[in-house]
Structure 1
């Protein structure tokens, strides 16, 4: 497994290296020792370590569905996100005021071909759009869900200007009523 930096401070892209043969493939989707070793070698790396992840969740979305843009207040939430089935356009936005990449976003293609994962430390908004008929997204998080700490910004907020690749087919009522980027800035 390779671990690469991204254009956002502390966001990492984990790239498994599948073994493929006539039967199909086998891949290690996460290696705690490698993850921790990488972080231990990086000066100023996020405090999250493999042992901190305590919950795995999975969503299934249909083509065009957007889930996001979500975050957590308080001490935030670290996530390790991957697409186990299909493909998604994954978007991350830095909301840490003291970060050199504050307000910047980056997008990633996560799919069931190369199995890349995005490590998102606390202090980011996250969302994705399903690109295939069905897309299963797996989340590994370091905190139990606390609804009172939920943050959300509208997926189509003009100040964020996210370029979603497909027409939007469905969003949740929560996402439809999400606030603006400016509303979030006023809270931070």
Structure 2
């Protein structure tokens, strides 16, 4: 696998080694030993999630203030614009974000460690996204930062108004959101 660093050193883009021929393809989407040896990711994953969304659906920016989740994100259908925002007050990259195009075609994965808010925008007609998490879903600890927060100024590649859940419409401004110390 190929590990691509991002502007935020803790967030990594992972390109798996693809074995393909006229029959199709094969790749390891996760191998604990390889992730530890090549990417330094020693996280223990406890839950797999699968979402399907139509074009222009924007999910995020989500995090859990307790039971913080690291996420290994990939798209198995379609294309997404994936975003991670550093919300660790003590971090030198606090308040910074990175983005990555993840698709079924490029088979890239994004490692989003605990301490980050995460969101994505569906660019294709629809997308199916799988992500492994390092802690269990805890709705009582779930928080949401407003996707279009002016202080973050995320450059979402929107071609129309995003389709949002009520939770995402009601996200907190970054400057008033509960964050990690």
Of residues 85, 88, 93 in structure 1, which corresponds to 2:77? 85
1:173 is matched with 166
Q: Is residue 67–residue 141 contact of structure 2 (8 Å, CA) maintained in 1?
A: no
1:26 is matched with 26
1:95 is matched with 87
Q: Is residue 9–residue 99 contact of structure 1 (8 Å, CA) maintained in 2?
A: no
Q: Which runs of 5+ in 1 are unaligned?
A: 41-47
| Correspondence list, 1:36-185, <5 A | 36-40=36-40, 49-50=42-43, 52-74=44-66, 76-166=68-158, 167-184=160-177
Q: Cα 1:156–1:19, aligned 2, differ >3 Å: closer, same or farther?
A: same
2:5 is matched with 5
**1:186 Cα deviation (Å)?**
7.5
Q: Is residue 67–residue 135 contact of structure 2 (8 Å, CA) maintained in 1?
A: no
Q: Is residue 67–residue 136 contact of structure 2 (8 Å, CA) maintained in 1?
A: no
Q: Cα 1:39–1:114, aligned 2, differ >3 Å: closer, same or farther?
A: closer
Please, what TM-score do these two structures have when normalized by structure 2?
A: 0.92
RMSD: 1.7
**1:39 Cα deviation (Å)?**
4.8
Q: Is residue 53–residue 128 contact of structure 2 (8 Å, CA) maintained in 1?
A: yes
Q: Secondary structure of 1:76's match?
A: coil
Query: Where do 4+ consecutive residues of structure 1 move more than 6 Å?
Result: none
- d(CA) in 2 for partners of 1:37, 1:67: 32
Describe the superposition over 1:136-173 as per-residue Cα deviations: whole angstroms up to 9, x where unpaired.
11110011111121121111111111111122341101
Q: Secondary structure of 1:97's match?
A: coil
Q: Is residue 65–residue 168 contact of structure 1 (8 Å, CA) maintained in 2?
A: no
**1:38 Cα deviation (Å)?**
2.9
- d(CA) in 2 for partners of 1:109, 1:8: 16
